Each structure stands twice: as structure tokens, then as C-alpha cells.
Amino acid sequence: MKITMIGTGYVGLVTGTCFAEFGHHVTCVDKDEEKIKTLLEGQIPIYEPGLDTLVLKNTREKRLTFTTALADAVAVADAVFMAVGTPSSRRGDGYADLTYIFEAAREIAPHLQGYTVIVDKSTVPVGTARQVARIIREVNPAADFDVASNPEFLREGAAIADFMHPDRVVIGLESLQAENILREIYKPLYLQETPIVKTDIETAELTKYAANAFLAIKISFINEIALLCDSLGADVVSLAKGIGMDGRIGKKFLHPGPGYGGSCFPKDTLAMMRIAQEHGQNLRIVEAAVEVNAAQKAKMVKKIRDMLDGSEAGKTIAFLGLTFKPETDDMRDAPAITIIPALLEKGARIKAHDPQGMEEARKYLPQGIEYAQDAYETCKDADAVVLMTEWNQYRALDLDRLMEEMQGRIFIDLRNVYEPQKMKEKGFIYAGVGRS
Ligand code: UDX
């Protein structure tokens, strides 16, 4: 199959590369000349484990190319995937900004030749694919095409594995011709019997929001339970095992922390709430999850403050990890963006380290943070350490060395990486989340 991917952001680049790995011929198009130049030179603009090797392999084998020339790429394509950004609108009302999607539709339209499926990969409000179809018909009434929705469920940091071994593939469409093309594109997954869930277009669009909202709710649920565990002296890790082993609940996404972040959950929960409100409904459980998530970050600030005897002023706090999760350099909506400035404002001295995210972090965090080369340098002279992101390299820290570097003994583990009892035995004043 000949596939054209519009947008070489996180989703477009991973998806395009993996389709090429499936054996299809993929052209990734982006307006950003710098980005295309970087990709043509074999450099990857984002950090995603394994992506560089796969891009290199497929470019060498001539199944993957990058260009700014949209017209030629669209003309030859069996399927054009749209993977452009759908950020929260600048109006601050939670709506997804569809400017890039509609622009892409307008630009694709005049160049369509022969039958083509236009597939929405971006997370878009219900009804967007039909609007895309309307725009294309307006611009090019003779175009022979169908629209489809094929949401992605990739986790950053594990995107390639998620793509190659998905739990399911959701395709929303209403024509057999489009279905045949999409089934052909995903055919390599048949071998491992990946279920393909075929729905109408609107259901596929909504499925993506519902999946993300459900996961956000699950995290906010366990975060609230963790706070209750803190108050009651119960242990949330054992509790999560106790409930998660029930197949109806499932053990994934039951890890408490400083609140969810990233490019999807915060934006998509808000967008979904707005979609519902437009239709006269309130998604009260989603609204509660969003509120709980905001409160969780504030409560983590209080937790740190309490551990420092009620005031962070003049204290040195070492942050291990800044990104919203490990194995990514993505800082979008990372809890660190809320937690660190709150402490900085009250006079704390902040030192920080992140294996991949420090360059991005500088764009999101205020001036005045001291960035260090490694965990130990970060902890030098610190009154307290805050383990913010569970990078593997923080999972087996040399705790004796860490304590030698530190001035204090406080260890606040916002990801519950360490065992409270062992940390206490080591001499740390330790706090996890829900692990009293
Ligand atoms: C998510 C969805 O998982 C993916 O299907 C969708 O396509 C995009 O959004 P991503 O944002 O990359 O993926 O990361 P994910 O692993 O889902 O984590 C999101 C946030 O939730 C992170 O901040 C993470 O730390 C937090 N989280 C996750 C928890 O706090 N506890 C958990 O148990 C799981």
C-alpha cells in the first residue's frame, strides 16, 4: 500500500515508521522544513526508544521518505493519514483546536487522484471526519474518496511496542472500499490475531476520548485512595494489588503518583467534557477526575512542604525526573510544571535532573532552577530529594552515596519506587504516596 502521513509529530512519525516496517511505502509530509531536513539527515526530533533505528532501517530500505511536497505524496497515495496536532484551543475553553486538521483537508483535496481513503489519526471531536469530507468535497467536487477514523492508543516511551502489539485496532468507516484498504494496511497484525473493532465513524472518534477518560479516571481514583491510605495508615500498593487482580478491575493504571500529565489525558478529558456539554450533558465522573488531578499536584506540594517542617523557604530540594513519565523528553502538562514553581515561589532552592527532558524542561520551567549532570550531583547539599519521574536509572540509586551527598535525610518518593521500610532502615525520612 502507498501511504501518506500528514504531520511528523509524535503520532505521525511513529505511525508512519511502523507502517513502513509493515512493508508499506510511506511518505511523511510536514510543513516544517527544518524538521524534514533533520529527518532526511537521519536525526529524530523527539526521544522515543527504538524509533531512530526503525526510521534508519526503513529509509535505507526505501520504504520511508520525508518531504514538504504534499501534492506529489497525496496524488499517489491509497490512504492519506492525518496526524496533525489538535491542541486545546487558545480560548482556554477546553475545545480542541481543529485549525491544522481543516487546513490539511484543504491542502490535500486538490491533489487527490484515483480512489483514496482519508484517515483521521489525530484525536478529534466527534463529527470531525465528516467535516473533513465536506471540506474536501467543497474544494474538489470530483474527488473519489472516503473518510475514516482510526484513533491511536500509543503510550509515549512504549509507542513502537504498542503499535506492533496493540490490544486492538479501532476503525470507523462506512464504505467497504475504505475498509478493505485499512484491513490491508493492518494485515501484518492478523498474524498475531489483533482484533479489529469496526464501528461507524462517530463511534471510533468517541472511543478514543472514552478510552483516555477512563484511564484518567482510573488514575485519579487510585490517587484519591492513596491519600486516604496516607490518612488511615494503609498501604496503597498492596491495596492496588488486592483490587487489580480482580479481572474486572485490572491491575494497570493503578499506580498513584503526582497526577497524570502528558499530551493526551489533560487535553482529551477537557475536550470530551466540552463535547458533552455542547450536547446538553455533563460527564460528572470525568469532571471529577480532572479536579482530582489538579488537586493531586497541589497536595504533592503540601506533602513536600510538610516533610520540610511546614516551610520550603531557604531549603534545597533536589528533583529527580521532570518529564511527565519516563522514556520521553515530553514536558507537556508534566506535574513538575505545577509543583516546582510553587516551591520556587516560596523561596526554595531547586536542583533538578532528568535523563532526557532537561532541554525541554528549560522551556516550561521558570529561571532559577539549577540543572545537574546526574542524580548524585542533583542531591548534593539537598535537604530533601523528590523522586518525580520513575526513570529506570533512579530505581537502583546508590542510597549510601546519595545520603552522603545530601545535607538532610528527607526522601519524597512521588512514584512509590522504593520500599518505605527499607528506606527507613537506611536512615531516610521517607514518604511515598499512600504508603504510610
Ligand atoms: C496515553 C494513553 O495511554 C494512550 O493510549 C493515548 O494514546 C495517549 O495518552 P501517554 O500519555 O503517552 O499515553 O502515557 P501513559 O503511560 O498513559 O501515562 C499518562 C500519565 O498518567 C503519565 O503522567 C503517567 O505518569 C500517569 N500514570 C499512568 C499514573 O500516574 N499512574 C498510572 O498507573 C499510569
Element housing 79 (H / E): strand 79-82
User: 321 in ligand 1 pocket by Cβ < 6 Å?
Assistant: no
**Residue 406 · residue 376 · CB < 8 Å:** no
Residue 112, pLDDT score: 98
* Helix (H/G/I), strand (E/B), else coil: 64: strand
CA gap 36, 352 in Å, rounded: 32
Task: Kindly give the distance from the C-alpha atom of residue 155 to the centroid of ligand 1, in angstroms, as a whole number.
Answer: 6
User: 172 in ligand 1 pocket by Cβ < 6 Å?
Assistant: no
Q: How many residues does the chain have?
A: 436
Residue 89, pLDDT score: 77
Give the angle 74-80-85 at the CA atoms, nearest 5°: 110
Read off the DSSP letter of residue 235.
B
Q: Which atom of ligand 1 is nearest to the CA of 265?
A: 9
Helix (DSSP H) and strand (DSSP E) numbers for the chain? 17, 14
Q: In testing the pocket of ligand 1, which one of 219, 249, 263, 388 has its CB within 8 Å of the most ligand atoms?
A: 219
Main-chain dihedrals φ then ψ at residue 41, nearest 5 degrees: -85, 0
Task: Kindly give the distance from the C-alpha atom of residue 260 to the centroid of ligand 1, in angstroms, as a whole number.
Answer: 7
Angle between helices 99-108 and 128-139 (to 10 degrees): 40
Q: pLDDT digit string (tens) for 185-217?
A: 999 998 889 999 999 999 999 999 999 999 999
Residue 5, pLDDT score: 98
User: 304 in ligand 1 pocket by Cβ < 6 Å?
Assistant: no
User: 264 in ligand 1 pocket by Cβ < 6 Å?
Assistant: yes
Q: Which atom of ligand 1 is nearest to the CA of 330?
A: 12
**Residue type present at position 21:** E
* Nearest CA-CA partner of 39 in 55, 20, 27: 55
Query: What residues are annotated to the active site?
Result: 264
CA-nearest residue, atom 14 of ligand 1: 155
CA gap 129, 120 in Å, rounded: 7
Read off the DSSP letter of residue 92.
S
Task: Kindly give the distance from the C-alpha atom of residue 323 to the centroid of ligand 1, in angstroms, as a whole number.
Answer: 12
CATH topology of domain 2-199: Rossmann fold (3.40.50)
Task: Kindly give the distance from the C-alpha atom of residue 387 to the centroid of ligand 1, in angstroms, as a whole number.
Answer: 18
Alpha carbon dihedral 332, 334, 336, 338, in 10-degree steps, equals: 80
Task: Kindly give the distance from the C-alpha atom of residue 347 to the centroid of ligand 1, in angstroms, as a whole number.
Answer: 31
Residue 93, pLDDT score: 76
Q: What is the CATH number of domain 213-431?
A: 3.40.50.720
User: 66 in ligand 1 pocket by Cβ < 6 Å?
Assistant: no
User: 63 in ligand 1 pocket by Cβ < 6 Å?
Assistant: no
CA gap 406, 361 in Å, rounded: 24
**Residue 188 · residue 23 · CB < 8 Å:** yes
CATH 3.40.50.720 placement within the chain: 2-199, 213-431
Q: pLDDT digit string (tens) for 379-421?
A: 999 999 999 999 999 999 999 999 999 999 999 999 999 999 9
CA gap 294, 305 in Å, rounded: 17
Look-up: residue for cell 520551567?
365
Q: pLDDT digit string (tens) for 224-247?
A: 999 999 999 999 999 999 999 999
User: 265 in ligand 1 pocket by Cβ < 6 Å?
Assistant: yes
Alpha carbon dihedral 117, 121, 122, 125, in 10-degree steps, equals: 70
Residue 225, pLDDT score: 98
What's this model's pTM, rounded to 2 decimal places? Answer: 0.95
User: 253 in ligand 1 pocket by Cβ < 6 Å?
Assistant: yes
Task: Kindly give the distance from the C-alpha atom of residue 217 to the centroid of ligand 1, in angstroms, as a whole number.
Answer: 11
**Could you say which residues of the chain have pLDDT below 50?**
none
